[in-house]
A and B are shown apart, each in its own frame.
Chain A
């Protein structure tokens, strides 16, 4: 059976160039970067070179790059680290209702420690209003955390505007850029970003490695203790194979960004227009301010989960915002925050395109999905009643 992977927002296939450099650091240059001998030195060099590559991708300085175990840890470090280091200054954080759970659950955990958190609403497209951010800033506000682009609906936030406001008010600005990095241009200086999370496996790198960019001078405490690694910001022996893999992925992402974006947008727009030609299908998220690889639609009168499984049986890997299979009964918190009614949110489906996808992949989806929708609607009491 033909198998088509359209879930690149969940994770991506590692590029062969990336796998190759990782292999070298698994079986040849396997030293511990903290060791003084030659094995350690070559590993140290690789890690420091990697820092430079990642920094170049986001316009940072190498010493502002802290390697972590992934995007989730980077988000945890940003929120907990800044909150705990700046208690004397204030105890208020501003974030949004559509963040990834790595942010939302961390913020909830901090609330239990006595922190005050404001969760900003979004409009029907999933956009945060920068003026709303400004209005929410208080004397006690220490951190604003707004994602650069949403993982479910792909909406790209006005982070530069928010960054300007944060800078003006003297508040730290963190952005979870796990979905954005490598897919849209980001520059920590132009965008006035103080902290930024990114992850290796979303940009054709390995799982288990990520980065928190920390602008020089930012007051932050480590959350993992146990050594002087990563400038005392994150203890633990460096995941060298992961770090060099991320480095290669970051280097290629930087070089190919423009071309990559154009390619994905072409596939995306073809898929969106094909899907919208199915009756009672709506696009979720912003029509223009959107990640180049993100397609999120709601198919009325059909359960997202049923479509997802039916697509899988046809070899197509997508994902559903309703996430019934993941154990949550509630439809996506992102779609609900956008004011999309429950029944529409339940019929949502996300396709996330990647560099290994082709036009044939898109056409295969457009060939298969209408039949699935028709079959499911033929047994849906809601479709019959419309």
Chain B
């Protein structure tokens, strides 16, 4: 049997570097590809890319050095245009709609396992590997490809992969799924990988200074209009600087001199109004999600008991999900959840297994 070929998406960080090394040791023919992604620094020479960002030029250089040391071919592929169209534009549009998007999720589906996979396939690849802390598996009963959490609870990244299709999962390899970040660093050091000590990458890779407010102000100034801040009873408490500057659950930076601390409860783009309230008004029990993708099941037919996460860093909580109208679902948590935010993804689990998820459209008042 001929050796199987795997393309590793090498970001220049320690995780994908080690992934490449481990796959090589496992006997695969390994090719490294680094995506050159659009960054605001491309347009503005004064913006110096942050350390470790995966759009940074140095990222490609680090990946190249690792590949060279491993003795595997490595190429940088230009995906600036695709990335801008598929990820950055969506990011901007979501903020303009009053949502808080998660660009990494879109990037995984459209770029890494989309456009990059096409390049990998052109090179004869059987698999595409990434340095995500997640595991893939196959359900022998249903024949479905499964996505499971990485075993390191602090690093688990299955959340960001929930919208991969069966087709995409069938050719995905996640060599770090069974490892902790500590083990990754140790194994990378043992192997002398130059990226072993690199810091974690930044939040939004295409905004060099991580200041998304400044970024939006430059791109969609017309969407950033001051408007009223009101409480849930409609009383005007002050003025906001433009809805895209705020996110649900936020307390700081409201500029309100109220006695009790106030939090963002809701953004109302139609009225250009920011609704705030006391901390007990923030948690919500129910949400509607759309743009659904299911992994462990083909589709959601009835109600299903799951655990759910409403953002990458939130804690999993017990919930029931059920179909809601056309291509949406209703999720009802057992306990109210802090900061259910339109635009973020709600991901549902059955133990270790990702059931599926969707993009939060809106919270739903309690019944």
B31 interface residue, CB < 8 Å from A? yes
A325 interface residue, CB < 8 Å from B? yes
Contacts of A305 in B (CB 8 A): 77
Q: Is B36 a contact partner of A327 (Cβ separation < 8 A)?
A: yes
Q: Is B119 a contact partner of A306 (Cβ separation < 8 A)?
A: yes
Q: Is A325 a contact partner of B77 (Cβ separation < 8 A)?
A: yes
Instruction: Tell me the smallest distance from the CB of B78 to a CB of chain A, in Å.
Output: 4
Contacts of A375 in B (CB 8 A): 122, 124
Contact with B along A352-386 (1 / 0, CB 8 A): 00000000000000000000000110010000000
Contacts of B119 in A (CB 8 A): 306, 309
| Given A312-B73, A313-B31, A327-B36, residue A306 in contact with residue B80 (CB < 8 A) | no
Instruction: Tell me the smallest distance from the CB of B255 to a CB of chain A, in Å.
Output: 42
B76 interface residue, CB < 8 Å from A? yes
For residue B119, which residue of chain A has the nearest CB? A306
Contacts of B236 in A (CB 8 A): none
Interface centre among A305, A306, A324 (most CB of B within 10 A): A324
Contacts of A376 in B (CB 8 A): 122
Q: Is A325 a contact partner of B122 (Cβ separation < 8 A)?
A: no
For residue B36, which residue of chain A has the nearest CB? A327
B97 interface residue, CB < 8 Å from A? no
Q: Is B123 a contact partner of A309 (Cβ separation < 8 A)?
A: yes
Interface centre among A305, A326, A329 (most CB of B within 10 A): A329
Q: Is B73 a contact partner of A324 (Cβ separation < 8 A)?
A: no
Instruction: Tell me the smallest distance from the CB of A1 to a CB of chain B, in Å.
Output: 10
Q: Is A310 a contact partner of B123 (Cβ separation < 8 A)?
A: yes
| Given A306-B119, A312-B73, A376-B122, residue A327 in contact with residue B31 (CB < 8 A) | no
**In the complex, what distance in Å separates the CA atom of A324 from the CA atom of B36?**
10
Contacts of B76 in A (CB 8 A): 325
Contacts of B80 in A (CB 8 A): 329
Contact with B along A307-340 (1 / 0, CB 8 A): 0011011000000000011111100000000000
Contacts of B31 in A (CB 8 A): 313
Instruction: Tell me the smallest distance from the CB of B122 to a CB of chain A, in Å.
Output: 4
Would you call the interface of chain A mostly helix, strand, loop, or mixed?
Answer: helix
Q: Is A379 a contact partner of B123 (Cβ separation < 8 A)?
A: no
**In the complex, what distance in Å separates the CA atom of A375 from the CA atom of B78?**
22
**In the complex, what distance in Å separates the CA atom of A329 from the CA atom of B80?**
8
| Given A312-B73, A313-B31, A313-B73, residue A327 in contact with residue B78 (CB < 8 A) | yes
Contact with B along A292-315 (1 / 0, CB 8 A): 000000000001011001101100
Instruction: Tell me the smallest distance from the CB of B119 to a CB of chain A, in Å.
Output: 7
**In the complex, what distance in Å separates the CA atom of A324 from the CA atom of B118?**
15
Q: Is B77 a contact partner of A324 (Cβ separation < 8 A)?
A: yes
**In the complex, what distance in Å separates the CA atom of A198 from the CA atom of B36?**
33
Instruction: Tell me the smallest distance from the CB of A343 to a CB of chain B, in Å.
Output: 15
Contact with A along B108-127 (1 / 0, CB 8 A): 00000000001101111000
Interface centre among B78, B118, B121 (most CB of A within 10 A): B78
Q: Is A329 a contact partner of B123 (Cβ separation < 8 A)?
A: no
B324 interface residue, CB < 8 Å from A? no
Contacts of B77 in A (CB 8 A): 305, 324-325
B81 interface residue, CB < 8 Å from A? yes
Instruction: Tell me the smallest distance from the CB of A217 to a CB of chain B, in Å.
Output: 40
Q: Is B78 a contact partner of A306 (Cβ separation < 8 A)?
A: no
8 Å CB contacts to A: which residues of B53-84?
Answer: 73, 75-78, 80-81
Contacts of B121 in A (CB 8 A): 379
Instruction: Tell me the smallest distance from the CB of A62 to a CB of chain B, in Å.
Output: 42
**In the complex, what distance in Å separates the CA atom of A328 from the CA atom of B76?**
12
Contacts of B124 in A (CB 8 A): 310, 313, 375
**In the complex, what distance in Å separates the CA atom of A192 from the CA atom of B78?**
43
**In the complex, what distance in Å separates the CA atom of A191 from the CA atom of B31?**
49
**In the complex, what distance in Å separates the CA atom of A329 from the CA atom of B79?**
8
Instruction: Tell me the smallest distance from the CB of B63 to a CB of chain A, in Å.
Output: 13
| Given A310-B123, A375-B124, A379-B122, residue A329 in contact with residue B75 (CB < 8 A) | no
Q: Is A310 a contact partner of B122 (Cβ separation < 8 A)?
A: yes
Contacts of A312 in B (CB 8 A): 73, 75
Instruction: Tell me the smallest distance from the CB of B304 to a CB of chain A, in Å.
Output: 37
| Given A325-B75, A325-B76, A327-B36, residue A313 in contact with residue B123 (CB < 8 A) | yes
Instruction: Tell me the smallest distance from the CB of B17 to a CB of chain A, in Å.
Output: 20
Extra contacts, 8 of them, besides A324-B78, A379-B121 (Cβ < 8 A), are: A309-B123, A312-B73, A312-B75, A324-B77, A326-B78, A327-B36, A328-B78, A375-B124
24 pairs of residues in contact across A and B, judged by CB atoms under 8 Å:
A303-B122, A306-B119, A306-B122, A306-B123, A309-B75, A309-B119, A309-B122, A309-B123, A310-B123, A313-B31, A313-B73, A324-B77, A324-B78, A325-B75, A326-B78, A327-B36, A327-B78, A329-B78, A329-B80, A329-B81, A375-B122, A375-B124, A379-B118, A379-B121
